[in-house]
Structure 1
Amino acid sequence: MAIERRIAPTSLRLVLVALAGLLIALLGWWPMIAQYPHTPELDGQYSFYQFEIGKAIISRYHEFPLWNPYDCRGIPHWDFPESMGASPLLLLGFWLPPLIQYYLWNILHCAAGFVGMWLLVRDDLKLSRIASFAAATGWALGAAHTAQYSTGHVMMAGFWNFPLLLFLWRRAENSIGSAIGVGILLSWMIYDGGTYPVPFCVLLLVLEAATRLTSLARLKSIVVAGVVTGATGILLAAPRLLPISKQFSGHVRPNPYPDVDSITNMANVRSMFLMRQTQWSLHLPGQQYVWNEYISYLGIAGLLIALVGMCIAAVRRRWLVVLTLMVFVLMLGHFASWAPWHVLQTRVFPFTSMRVSSRFRFFMTAFAAMFVAIAIDELPPIVGRFAGPSRGKIARVAVVGLAFLSAGDVMAFGYEMLTARFGWAPPVTVEASPRFYYGGPGLTPVFTDQPRQNRAWTGCRAVSWAFYENAPVWTGDVPQVRASDANATVGNVRRTPNRFTFETDVNAPTARIRVNSAYGDGWRTDVGTVVNDGDLLAVDVPQGHHVVHLRYWPNYLTLGLWMAFVGVVGIAAYAFRGKLFRAKSKA
C-alpha cells in the first residue's frame, strides 16, 4: 500500500510524535496519578525509598548522592548497580517531591517507548501511521511494563528504550551518527540503574546484527558500528560504569536462591499472554517466581493478530521472525544444559549475577507490537488479491478495529493493576533531626519516611548489594565518631552522607578512630589509613593533633569523569565537524 508522506521538517515531526507519546503515557498511567498521594505497594516502597534518599541528600546536604547512610547501616549509592541515584532525571528534578519524581519516571520512560516504537515501525519497517500508532501504543502500554514498574522494579524502565535502540542500531551500519546515538542511549540507561535492561538489550542488538551478516562488507560496517557504539557508551558512562565494575570485581552478588526456572509447560506460556490476573503474588504451576514476573497479557485478539503478522513477516522480514524465535528460546530459561539462558547465567558476566529468564518477555511483546503493525498494513492487500478489493478494505477495517480493541483491553488490564498497586499510605509529615543518627526515640517505623526525618534504621532492604550490613553502628543523637581506646580523644565531629570531619589528639604511635558507618571500599582520608574494623568504618590515625577529613568517593570516579569529558568533546567534534572543516577551508 502507498505510505503517507512524512511531515516536514523532521524536528516538527519528532515534536508531534513526542507529544503523542506523552499523551498516551499520561492516559495509560492515569490511575497512578489519580491516587495521589498514595504510594506504591510492597517492593514499590523500596523504589520510592530511593527517590526519597536522593532528594534528602541533595536538598539537605547539597551533595551528590554518592553514599547512602539510610539503608543497611551505610552502602554505596552511586556505585550500587541497581541504584537510580545517578540518573539525570532524578538529579535534575531533585527539587520535586519524590512521589512526583516517581510518577514522572514512569510517564517519561513510557513516552520514550512510544516514540522509539513509532520510529522503528514507521521509518524502518516502512509502515503506515495507523500501523505505527497501533504498535507504539501497544508497546508503551504493554502489560509487562505496567506489571513490572508498578510494583517496584522501576529501575528496569529502560526496557522501554529497546525499540529506539533497535531503530538506531539498524541504521548504524550506514550511519556513524546513529551508532553514537546507540552509545548515548545505553550510557543514559546505565546512569538510570539499568543493570538488567542494558545487558539484555545489548544481547538483542548482537543477535539482530547476526541476522545481517550476509557479506564481508556488511560485517565490516557492523563491526565499525559496534566499535563506535561501544566507545561512545563506555566513555560517557565511565563515571558510573567504572565504579560499578570495581564493585563487581571486589564482591559477588549473593543470590538468596539459585535461578532454575524453566518455562517448558506450554500452558504457562499461554497464561503469560492470555491470563488476565492482577494478583501479582500468584504462582504458575512449576514456576519459580511470582506471577508478576511473567505477565505479558496481549488478549486473544492481540495474540491472533500478532501471529498473523508473524506469518506474513516470515516472507518479507525473516530477520524479525528469526530474532523472535531466538528470544523465545532465551525466555524458556534452564530447560537444558545447552539452553542459551543456562549458558549465559552460569558462564557469561554480567548474566551470572542475574535471574529470571522470563524478563525476555519484554522483547516478545515488542515483537508482538511490530507483528500487529505488519498485519494491519499487509494482511488487507493479501485478502484483496484473493477475495477482491472490497473485501480487502473490509479486512483492513476489521484488523485495525481488532488491534485497537486489543490495545484498549490491555490498557484496561493495566488500569486494574495500577488501581490495585498504588493504594499504600501516603507520606506523612515528619520532624527532621538537625543531625543524622541511627535509631533513637521517635524514629518512624516506615523506612521510606526516614530520609526526610534525617535518621535511619539499622535494618537492610538492599540485600543484594550489602556486604557490611552487620557493622556495629551505635544509635542515638550522639557523636558519630569515637576513639577505640584511651590513646586518643575526638571532638568537633561533623557528618554528612558523604563526609565525616573531626579533630583528634593521639598520644600513641597510632590510634584507631571508629566512625558510625558500615565500611565501604571508596572511603578515603587525608590523615591516616582507612580500615575495616569488623565491618565498621574506621581510621588508623598517627600520633599528634589532627583535623581529619574522611569522605566517600567511589573508586575510579575521577578517571570516569575524565573519560566522559573526552567522550563529550569527541561527540561535539563529530557533530560540528562540517562547520569546522568549512571554517578551515575559508581561512
Structure 2
Amino acid sequence: MTSQLRTFHRVATLPALRLALFAVLALIACWRPLTKAGGLNDFRDSHLLHSYEDAGARTLTRYGQLPLWNPWSCGGQYALGSPQTRVASPTLLVSAALGARRAEPVLLWAFLVLGMEGFFRYARRRAGSAVGALAAAPLFGLFGFTALSWSIGWLNFAGFLLLPWLLVGTRRAAEGRLSGVVLVAAVFAFLLGFGGTYPVPMGALFVALETGRTLYMLRGRERRLRALWTLGATALFTLGACAYRLWPLVETMLSSPRIMAGSPGNSLETLARMMLQLPARSGFSNPGNFFLVAVALALVPVALVLARRRALYPTALAALCVWMAAGYSAKPSLFAGLRTLPIFSTFRYPERFLLPAGFFIAELAALALAALLVHALRRRTRWAPRVAALACGAVVAGWGVQVHAFSNLTRWAPMVAEPTPTPPEAEQPFAQARGNRWSQGHFLALNRGSIACGEAWPVPMSAMLRGDLPQEEYLEEPTSGTARRVEWTPNRVEVDVTASRPAVLLVNQNWHPGWETSVGEVVSRDGLLAVRLPEGSHRVVLSFLPRSGLGGALVSVLAWAGLGFLAWRQRARPSRPWWGVGALAVGAVPLVAWGALLVTSSEPVARAVPRNADGTPIVVETLPPQARPVGARFDVPMELVAVDVPSAPDAEGLVHMALYWRVTGPVPRTTGIFVHLPGPEGSKRKNSDHVVLGGTFFLRDVPRDVLLRDAFAVSTKDWEAGEWKVLVGLWHAGGNGSRIEARGADGRPLPESRVEAGAFAVPPKTAR
C-alpha cells in the first residue's frame, strides 16, 4: 500500500507526469471528435454558431483584418457584440491556423487537460492531498456536458472547465499574490472572448462565494485587510481587462436585450437521471448528458464523516446548485430569484447548474480520498488500508466509465458522412442570400451571407435586405448615377460612385453606428447601411470602426499595462508590498479612461424593431377593423384594449390570435399573461401562457402609453372537434401564481379575473 501511494504521489506532484496522464485521458475521451476533425456537424445550432468562428477565421486569414464585422450572418452584425461568438478569444488563432472545423476537437482536448489540471491545483489545496486531488480531477474534467456541448456546436460551454482556475486565482489574490490578480483577470477576459454567456456570470457568482469563504478562513485583522485591498484591485483590473469585449456586449444588450422567458423546471428524479444514467451512443433525448460517475456521489458521505469541517462548504454549494438546477419546480425557486438580477436574467436552462454541482461533488470525492489515505497511513484501524485501496481503485475504474460516457456523448454529433464531409468552396464575389438559419455552414463556403437569422437575441436587421440583387452596392435612385464595387472585405468596402445630383448609396448590409465613410455621411435607411453623397465622382471607402470595440481594446491594454507595472515594481522592490492605495489607483486608471471615452464620444444606437414571431410590429397606431374592443383593466397599470380571435383554424390547423394591450405604468417583474383554452366536454384544457410580449419584452419593460399588439398562434393538431374558448388574464407567473384582479369596461370585477376573448371551432378531422 505504501509503495503504491508513493507512486501515485510521484505522478501527482510531478507536473510532467500529471499532465501526461491528463493528456492521455483527454485523448481517449475525445478520440472520435479528433478523427472527425474538419467534418461538418449537421446539427442546427452547430451550423449557426460554427459559422461565426468560420467567419472570424476567414476575416483574419483571407482579408488580414480583425473580426469586427460579420457580413455573412443576419445581414451583417457586430461580431464583438454578439454574445455567442468566440472570435474575440485567442483560440481564433488556432482556428485560423488549422481551419475552424479542424480546430474545434483540438480545442476540446486542450480544455479537458486545462480543466483537470485546474481542478487538481484547486483540490490539492482544499483536500490537503495530491493523490486525492489527482484521483478526482478526471471526474470533473470529463464531465458529460462538455462532450454534449461539442456534439451540438456549443463549444463555448467548455469554458466551464476554467472554473477551478478562477477559484485558485481568487484564493491567491486574497493571500496578497499578484499572480492571483493576473489569473482571475486573464480567465474572465478569455471567457468573455470565448462567448461565455453562462460560464462568465456563473463564474462570477462562485468567485463571489469563494471570496466570502476565503475571507472567513483568514485569521487576523491585518490579513483580512490586505485581502480586501487585493480583492478590490482584482475587481478593478478584471473589469479593465474585459473591457475589449464587455463594452460591445453591454452596448448590444442595452440596444437589443436578449430575452429568455418561460418557467423551466426539473424534478429531482430528472436531475438524478441527467447525472447518473449512462448516456447511450446516440439520441438527444437520452438524459445522461450531465453524466458523473456514481463513485463520486458514493464518496460524499465519506467526506462528511471523515472530513466534516472541510466538507461543509462544498456540500452546501453542491446542494444549492442542485436546488438551482431544479428551476421553477423547486418551491421556493432559487433559480427564479436569481433571474431577477440583471446579469442572470438571460438564463434559460436551470439544469446547467449541475455543472458546478459536479465540480463540488468532485471536490468532496477528493476530500474523502484524502481522509481515507490519512487513516490508512496512520493505520488507525485494521481495515483502513483496504478501504483506502478499494476507494482509490473504484475511482480509477470510474475514470474508465467517465471516459466511456464522454465518448458516447460525442457520438451524438450528426457529422456529415464521406465523400463530401465539408461544403465545397466557391470563389465568387460576396453577396447576400435569403439563406437558412440552420444551414449556414454551407453559406460561407459560397461567400454568401444569410439574411435568415437564428440568433437568440433580436439582431437589428433591416427590412430592406434582399437576397436577389444584381449588385450589393447601388444608388437609391438609379437615375441619379452609377455605382461600381472596387474592393470588398468584411470591415471595408470601396465603391466608385458617379452622381449627376446629390444621391444616396445603399449597401446591402445592416447599418451600425460603427461604419464610417471617406466621403459624405453614413446614414440608416430603414436599418440599411447607406451613404449620403454630394454630386460628382467619388471613391467611397466605408470602414467599420466601432467605438466600443476600439475603445474597449484601449481600456484593456491600459489594464494589462497597469498589471505589468505592478509586477515590475514588485520585482524591483520585493520588500515593499504591491497592494494598497497605489494598486487601487493603478487599477482605476483604465476605468477612468473608459468613463472619459463614454463622456467625450457618442454615437447613435442600432436598435432592433420590436416584432412578433409572425413578423408583425408590436407597436401599432390603431386597431384593425376585425379587432373586438374589450376595455378590461387590471390591478396593475395594464389594459386589455381589444382582441382578435378567428372563428376557425386555418388550412394548417393554426389559430392566429392577437391581444391588444396598453401599459400605463410600472408592472411587477413577475407579471405574465395567461391564455386558457377550454374545449368541449371531456377534453383537456390547453394553454398558451407567456411572460414575454411578442418574444421581445417582459411586461415591465414594454413601451408605455402606446398600443401593443401581442400576436401568437396555437396549433390545433390532434385537438378534439368542437368549440374552444379563449380566456385571457394576468397572473404572477414568477411569484405565488395568483391571478391579478380584472374589471370589465363597466368597472365591475370579472369572474375568476379573466376575459372571454372569443371562441373558435375545431372541425372534425375528416373535414380538415
- TM-score norm. by structure 1 comes to 0.87
The residue that corresponds to 1:288 in the other structure is none
Asked if the contact 1:54–1:90 (Cα under 8 Å) also holds between the matched residues in 2, the reply is yes
| 2:403 is equivalent to residue 401 of structure 1 | no
Return the letter of the residue paired with 2:258. R
Secondary structure in 2 matching 1:333: coil
Cα 1:527–1:120 change in 2 (3 A) is: same
The residue that corresponds to 1:243 in the other structure is 248
The residue that corresponds to 2:384 in the other structure is 392
The residue that corresponds to 1:228 in the other structure is 233
Return the letter of the residue paired with 2:268. M
| Cα shift at 1:55 | 2.3
| 2:327 is equivalent to residue 333 of structure 1 | yes
Asked if the contact 1:481–1:493 (Cα under 8 Å) also holds between the matched residues in 2, the reply is no
CA distance in 2, matches of 1:220, 1:335: 42
Cα 1:218–1:152 change in 2 (3 A) is: farther
Asked if the contact 1:471–1:517 (Cα under 8 Å) also holds between the matched residues in 2, the reply is no
Asked if the contact 2:432–2:448 (Cα under 8 Å) also holds between the matched residues in 1, the reply is yes
CA distance in 1, matches of 2:387, 2:575: 57
Asked if the contact 1:112–1:161 (Cα under 8 Å) also holds between the matched residues in 2, the reply is yes
The residue that corresponds to 1:172 in the other structure is 173
Q: Render the CA deviation track for 1:187-242: whole Å, top value 9, x for unaligned.
A: 11111111210110110111222334447656544433332222222222222211
The residue that corresponds to 1:375 in the other structure is 368
| 2:264 is equivalent to residue 261 of structure 1 | yes
**Equivalent residue for 1:420, pick from 395, 412, 418:** 412
CA distance in 1, matches of 2:469, 2:24: 49
Secondary structure in 2 matching 1:540: strand
The residue that corresponds to 1:286 in the other structure is none
Asked if the contact 2:432–2:450 (Cα under 8 Å) also holds between the matched residues in 1, the reply is yes
Cα 1:119–1:465 change in 2 (3 A) is: farther
- The 5 Å alignment of 1:6-25 reads 13-25=14-26
CA distance in 2, matches of 1:336, 1:396: 37
Return the letter of the residue paired with 1:137. P
| 2:446 is equivalent to residue 453 of structure 1 | yes
| Cα shift at 1:491 | 2.9
The residue that corresponds to 2:153 in the other structure is 152
Q: More helix by proportion, 1 or 2?
A: 1
Most deviating of 424-433 and 351-360: 424-433
The residue that corresponds to 2:358 in the other structure is 365
| Cα shift at 1:378 | 1.0
Asked if the contact 1:45–1:152 (Cα under 8 Å) also holds between the matched residues in 2, the reply is yes
What is the count of residue pairs matched by the alignment?
565
Bigger Rg over Cα: 2
The residue that corresponds to 1:303 in the other structure is 297
Cα 1:250–1:4 change in 2 (3 A) is: farther
Asked if the contact 2:68–2:491 (Cα under 8 Å) also holds between the matched residues in 1, the reply is yes
CA distance in 2, matches of 1:581, 1:380: 43
| 2:500 is equivalent to residue 496 of structure 1 | no
The residue that corresponds to 1:527 in the other structure is 519
Most deviating of 552-561 and 426-435: 426-435
| Cα shift at 1:83 | 0.3
| 2:538 is equivalent to residue 546 of structure 1 | yes
Q: Render the CA deviation track for 1:126-182: whole Å, top value 9, x for unaligned.
A: 1132x2222111111111222233222111211000111112212221123212211
Cα 1:536–1:125 change in 2 (3 A) is: same
CA distance in 1, matches of 2:477, 2:317: 61
**Equivalent residue for 2:273, pick from 271, 274, 278:** 271
- The 5 Å alignment of 1:349-360 reads 349-360=342-353
Asked if the contact 2:151–2:411 (Cα under 8 Å) also holds between the matched residues in 1, the reply is no
Return the letter of the residue paired with 2:108. N
Return the letter of the residue paired with 2:70. N
- The 5 Å alignment of 1:25-174 reads 25-42=26-43, 43-129=45-131, 131-174=132-175
Most deviating of 520-529 and 133-142: 520-529
Q: More strand by proportion, 1 or 2?
A: 2
CA distance in 2, matches of 1:77, 1:125: 42
Structure 2 gap ranges (5+): 577-768
Q: Render the CA deviation track for 1:417-464: whole Å, top value 9, x for unaligned.
A: 2123253345436242241112499x9995313223322333223343
| Cα shift at 1:399 | 0.6
Most deviating of 205-214 and 57-66: 205-214
| Cα shift at 1:548 | 1.9
Cα 1:479–1:248 change in 2 (3 A) is: closer
Structure 1 gap ranges (5+): 283-290
CA distance in 2, matches of 1:5, 1:124: 22
| Cα shift at 1:117 | 0.6
CA distance in 2, matches of 1:391, 1:465: 63
| Cα shift at 1:18 | 3.6
| Cα shift at 1:104 | 1.5
Q: Render the CA deviation track for 1:288-341: whole Å, top value 9, x for unaligned.
A: xxx66x732224333212343345443334222232233233222234686332
Between the aligned residues of both structures, percent identity stands at: 21
| Cα shift at 1:583 | 14
The alignment's C-alpha RMSD in Å is: 3.3
CA distance in 1, matches of 2:32, 2:509: 40
CA distance in 1, matches of 2:274, 2:413: 19
Asked if the contact 1:523–1:530 (Cα under 8 Å) also holds between the matched residues in 2, the reply is yes
Cα 1:312–1:457 change in 2 (3 A) is: same
Asked if the contact 1:53–1:451 (Cα under 8 Å) also holds between the matched residues in 2, the reply is yes
Cα 1:389–1:521 change in 2 (3 A) is: same
CA distance in 1, matches of 2:549, 2:39: 37
**Equivalent residue for 1:512, pick from 504, 509, 525:** 504
Cα 1:14–1:507 change in 2 (3 A) is: farther
Return the letter of the residue paired with 1:460. C
The residue that corresponds to 1:486 in the other structure is 479
CA distance in 2, matches of 1:489, 1:396: 82
- TM-score norm. by structure 2 comes to 0.68
Which structure's relative contact order is higher, taking Cα pairs within 8 Å and 6+ residues apart?
Answer: 1
| Cα shift at 1:475 | 2.9
Cα 1:583–1:365 change in 2 (3 A) is: closer
CA distance in 2, matches of 1:399, 1:521: 61
| Cα shift at 1:351 | 1.3
| Cα shift at 1:570 | 1.5
Cα 1:244–1:159 change in 2 (3 A) is: same
The residue that corresponds to 1:537 in the other structure is 529
Cα 1:7–1:482 change in 2 (3 A) is: farther
| Cα shift at 1:272 | 2.0
Runs of 4+ in 1 over 6 A off after TM superposition: 1-8
Most deviating of 52-61 and 134-143: 52-61
The residue that corresponds to 2:603 in the other structure is none
Secondary structure in 1 matching 2:263: coil
| Cα shift at 1:111 | 1.1
**Equivalent residue for 2:468, pick from 460, 469, 475:** 475
CA distance in 1, matches of 2:186, 2:359: 21
